[in-house]
Structure 1
Amino acid sequence: MSAPSVPQKESLPLETKKNFRWTVVIWLLIGGIINYLDRANLSIAAPEMMKELGLTKTDIGLLGTVFSWSYALMQLPSGWLIDRFGAKKVYSVAVIWWSLATFLTGAVSKMSSFIAARLLLGVGEAPCFPTAAKITASWFPKKERGLATGFWDSSSKWGPAIAPPILVLILVSFGWRSLFYITGIVGIVFAILFIIFYRNPDKSSKLSAEERAYIQADGSGSEQGLQQTSIKWRTLFTYRSVWGMILGFFCTIWIWNIFLIFLPLYLVEVHHITLAQLGIYASIPWIGGIFGNIFGGYITKIMVDKGRSTPIHAKRLLISICAIGAAIVVILIPFVQGIVITLTLLTLALAFISAITGSAWALAGDIAPPALVASVGSIQNFGGYFGGAFSPVVAGIIVDTTGSYLLAFVSGGIIAGCAALCYWFIVKNPIEEAKA
């Protein structure tokens, strides 16, 4: 008589009972908010800096450009450093570095010193988002990375959204220099807490066995380094999809930088809002950015969950549609008059643009092998910010020369729309290891 059959162990459920992995997003969200507060403080301080120090819009645009250039150039080594030495080590040093650079900005008065401080800020901030992409690829299966990325990438909108009311209050109470002092100190405190409490997934004691198995089932669950891939870093520039990501992100960051640097000035000069009103009005459009980030990630997750698309195709489709939407809305902005319709269009524009940036960062985890996620993400970001670095100073020159923001918005909208061409027609296939 044959022995009774032994019941087979059931496969892992689609959802785990515990979701500790989602708490990791909180670290990335807070770090990203601090990162963007340290960028946005310039746009809030700009009117008072121009008044006190005699700076022009071109000077303010130049400071934005210097930051973007140093930030872009440091993307290339930062991605390699993250993949080589690990996300936690590089990220901790980076946060302390950029926080000290922020503090320094408040202590100087000459244009040359401001340029040096913004250059140092760009160097320090460069590893922030490539690190987040690396951590996401380690902690989340592919189908969840778009949503997880949407949450932490929304930090780039939370920062500018909460910056106006908070920083305007500080500015009015203590002066523009205090904006840089306070945000710098906050960053250092965060870095200390991150060093003490954050752990990689393979070293975390908080993960249940069930959740760990769920994460590992899709190839995640550990932070893979450069020694675990046969692909050389320098060869990443030979892949078509990488170039599509570089060019597409350039088109997106061009208009993004214009909003980041000039949105408050645009509202003050064109719509004549007061400094007190600026704290509210300048934050409203970024709420659309937060929504776009999270909702865009949710849409791509639903498309994959329902079997309607692969993770890569879902993100490419969302990016392309949103790029076209952003182009239309941005071009319309200078042609409307009322503050309500202007804020509506600005909010829609940032919602579209934010959906692009969130999906683009998540796309790095789909295109790249696990050991090269930070490198591919940073190369994409390099393309965006190296080319996009020109937009603040170009916009500043246009406005100083013509006395109008019209050409800056129209040209920015056209460039933003070109992102659809890059991500849809150039970005196609993932990078694969050569078969032995």
Structure 2
Amino acid sequence: MKTKTATRVRWTVVIWLLVGGIINFLDRTNLSIAAPDMMKDLNLSNTDIGLMGSVFAWSYAFMQLPAGWLLDRLGAKKVYAWAVALWSGATAFTGVCTGLTSLLFGRALLGVTESPCWPGGAKITASWFPKQERALATGFWDAASKWGPTIAPPILVALIVPFGWRALFFITGAIGLIFVVIFALFYRQPEKHPRISQEELDYIKAGGGGTAQEIGDSKVSWGALFKHKSVWGMILGFFCYIWIFNIFVTFLPLYLMKTQNVSMKSLGIYASIPWFGGVIGAILGGYISKLLVDKRGAKPLVAKRAVISVCAVLAGITVIIIPHAGSLPATLACMTVALALMSALSSCAWALPGDVAPPSMVASVGSIQNFGGYFGGALSPVVVGMIADKTGSYTMAFTSGGIIAACAALCYWLLVRKPIAE
């Protein structure tokens, strides 16, 4: 088998998935930027904004498993393209909403239609990359989950200041529609791509890529996965992570405006700074885990659990400190450190299914972890909104969120102790 190929078309596929993922997060994040103006225009409360975040997360969670089934049944290109088109329509629909009821419907529709994005990316990667390159390829496009919130604030603020919050949703919806037209016209499976060389195609197929193959039957049934402590540890631990992650996604810009007197014009820069910590933390988390294996001789499962547990505790402490930070620089520093630690936790948590699950059920265990995380974590935006409305402060919300985030250490370290035996 050749290690070098005449063409490297497969790496252009990573760009498709990265751009699609960034657009996905732009359309998730636009609510947090538009929230202050929407609250004034439509007489909405913090609880209403939190409820919209929770409705999105619940619909997104419920559709995780059906989305995977549709991708396998109908093909990645078709389902992925339809998903982008539909979630772009849901984004644009938000711009015409006139009250809470229609806004909740729009956010629910966004959650349903955005659900195939990440499993679709995983399926496309499996087709285009040999097994030995999939982790590296996935790492590049999965960074969209951090790059999206990083670049979203300056882009979205630049749109909302001159055009208003309604135009913000119209424009971001249009960006997705433009992307999906280009994707539908030019994306091809490896065997059908006009620019791929035979050498590269042979290289992909030799490593298990190319046309989708049947997965061998496992001795463990899908339902039996829920009998294992390791699976429940991953579900509960990811719930703790998503709880605090959703708070940042929904309330970070609003928190800076209300507690640090950041203006709308300056919000784009300040709200993006903490997410750079997320980008760096995601890379460092995987690197430190690998270092523990290579230099300290730790088993891969133990190394990941160790990184997750330490980062969870430190992230929890940092989140509790945020409302007591005082100045804007101190607040941004705490938020940046917290998101770096949380992202390190997340990157290792997404790598755990490969260590815990039977080879034929890695995707199932990963989707169960993600479903559990978003199903429970969907409560956090509405809870934070209610606390903020009731107390007039975010202190209690961040304190409780920090405690919950730290509990991820208990879940992953005490429960995720051994692989599932076939």
Change (3 A) 1:295 1:136: farther
CA contact (8 A) 2:14 2:141 kept: yes
Please give the residue correspondences for 1:193-272 in structure 2 after superposition, counting only pairs within 5 Å: 193-200=182-189, 206=196, 209=199, 213=203, 216-217=206-207, 223-225=212-214, 232-272=221-261
* Bigger shift: residues 261-270 or 230-239: 230-239
Q: Does 1:33 align with 2:22?
A: yes
Matched residues in 1 for 2:171 and 2:384: separation? 29
CA contact (8 A) 1:146 1:297 kept: no
Matched residues in 2 for 1:311 and 1:241: separation? 15
Please give the residue correspondences for 1:283-362 in structure 2 after superposition, counting only pairs within 5 Å: 283-301=272-290, 308-309=297-298, 311-362=300-351
Alignment correspondent of 1:175: 164
Change (3 A) 1:320 1:198: farther
Alignment correspondent of 2:13: 24
Change (3 A) 1:79 1:214: closer
- Residue 372 of structure 1 and its aligned partner are, at CA, apart by 4.1
Matching residue's letter, 1:92:
A
Matched residues in 2 for 1:97 and 1:237: separation? 33
Matching residue's letter, 1:402:
T
- Residue 271 of structure 1 and its aligned partner are, at CA, apart by 0.7
**CA displacement 1:314-365 (0-9 Å, x = unmatched):** 4333322322221121111111111111101101111111222233233334
* Bigger shift: residues 75-84 or 220-229: 220-229
Q: Does 1:91 align with 2:91?
A: no
Matched residues in 2 for 1:200 and 1:376: separation? 26
Q: Does 1:114 align with 2:117?
A: no
Matched residues in 2 for 1:173 and 1:96: separation? 26
Change (3 A) 1:241 1:92: farther
- Residue 211 of structure 1 and its aligned partner are, at CA, apart by 8.2
Aligned to 1:283, what secondary structure does the other structure show?
helix
Matching residue's letter, 2:196:
K
Alignment correspondent of 1:188: 177
Aligned to 2:168, what secondary structure does the other structure show?
helix
Change (3 A) 1:220 1:121: same
Please report the RMSD computed on the Cα atoms of aligned residues, expressed in angstroms: 2.9
**CA displacement 1:116-156 (0-9 Å, x = unmatched):** 11111010111222223344455556675554443322212
- Residue 213 of structure 1 and its aligned partner are, at CA, apart by 4.3
Matching residue's letter, 1:109:
T
Change (3 A) 1:84 1:239: farther
Change (3 A) 1:428 1:72: same
Matching residue's letter, 2:87:
W
CA contact (8 A) 2:278 2:340 kept: yes
Q: Does 1:161 align with 2:161?
A: no
- Residue 212 of structure 1 and its aligned partner are, at CA, apart by 5.3
* Bigger shift: residues 385-394 or 79-88: 79-88
Please give the residue correspondences for 1:34-183 in structure 2 after superposition, counting only pairs within 5 Å: 34-137=23-126, 146-183=135-172
- Residue 199 of structure 1 and its aligned partner are, at CA, apart by 3.9
**CA displacement 1:56-97 (0-9 Å, x = unmatched):** 111000100111111111112222333444433322222122
Change (3 A) 1:403 1:249: same
Q: Does 1:395 align with 2:384?
A: yes
Matched residues in 2 for 1:421 and 1:12: separation? 45
- Residue 297 of structure 1 and its aligned partner are, at CA, apart by 3.2
Change (3 A) 1:199 1:280: same
Q: Does 1:416 align with 2:405?
A: yes
- Residue 381 of structure 1 and its aligned partner are, at CA, apart by 1.2
Structure 2 unaligned runs (5+)?
none
Matched residues in 1 for 2:23 and 2:59: separation? 19
Change (3 A) 1:207 1:357: farther
Matching residue's letter, 2:44:
L
Equivalent pairs: percent with the same residue?
A: 60
Change (3 A) 1:198 1:424: farther
- Residue 268 of structure 1 and its aligned partner are, at CA, apart by 0.6
Matched residues in 2 for 1:196 and 1:140: separation? 21
CA contact (8 A) 2:305 2:413 kept: yes
* Bigger shift: residues 146-155 or 240-249: 146-155
Matched residues in 1 for 2:280 and 2:205: separation? 27
CA contact (8 A) 2:6 2:199 kept: no
Alignment correspondent of 1:276: 265
CA contact (8 A) 1:246 1:381 kept: yes
Matched residues in 1 for 2:281 and 2:105: separation? 34
Change (3 A) 1:374 1:199: farther
**CA displacement 1:167-210 (0-9 Å, x = unmatched):** 11111111101111111111122223333333445666636647
Matched residues in 2 for 1:327 and 1:121: separation? 30
Aligned to 2:326, what secondary structure does the other structure show?
coil
Matched residues in 2 for 1:303 and 1:145: separation? 22
CA contact (8 A) 1:84 1:225 kept: no
Matched residues in 2 for 1:231 and 1:92: separation? 33
Structure 1 unaligned runs (5+)?
1-10
TM superposition score normalised by structure 1 = 0.86
Matched residues in 2 for 1:315 and 1:209: separation? 36
Matched residues in 2 for 1:208 and 1:412: separation? 53
Matched residues in 1 for 2:55 and 2:157: separation? 24
* Bigger shift: residues 133-142 or 113-122: 133-142
Aligned to 2:40, what secondary structure does the other structure show?
helix
